[in-house]
Amino acid sequence: MVQERSSQERCFNPIDSYIWFELYGSPTDRDVDLIGSVIQSWYVMGRLGAFNSSNLQLANSSMEHNPIYDADKGFKVMPSSFHDIGDVEFQDNWGRVWVDLGTSDIFAVDVLLNCLTVLSSEYLGIQQMVLVGRMGDWEEGMTNPEYGYKYFKI
């Protein structure tokens, strides 16, 4: 389901890249709302510093002895914040969202891919996801709903 382009001009730039997803067909309004809501939630978590692999205290501890989260330790790591995101846009069966992960880790993309994998298998079909590059027959500036354009406002 996930592909990454490998040419140098198409390297994933965490502060300026599109994440693309191809559906099996044109999205319904429900599909747009589902995908948009997942991405909006992902963005809010990122703005609040959720994607900071420097502070995975419980994941890196033994769960056998009542693990404790140390807030002081959490405050001492470098903050990690998602900076910006565009609206989720669709043209026909292709969707995209522009991201600036800021100081968030690439771990953020793993979390999104995990969410979209389950969304795809249980609620709608995502044929593939591609990090970076230009996909499909996307027409920049084409925002007419009569020609298959839909969006979810973040």
Selected residue with higher pLDDT from 26 and 147: 26
Query: From residue 99, how far is each of 63, 72, 96, 136, 153 by CA, in Å?
Result: 34, 30, 10, 19, 14
Question: Residues 70-88: pLDDT tens digits?
Answer: 888 888 888 888 999 999 9
Domain ranges of the chain: 2-51+79-152
Checking if the pLDDT of 7 tops 50, the result is no
Entry pTM? 0.85
pLDDT value of position 97: 96
Rounded CA gap, 100 and 38, in Å?
17
Selected residue with higher pLDDT from 136 and 94: 94
Domain covering 2-51+79-152 assigned CATH 3.30.70 in the classification: yes
Banded pLDDT at 117 (limits 50, 70, 90): very high
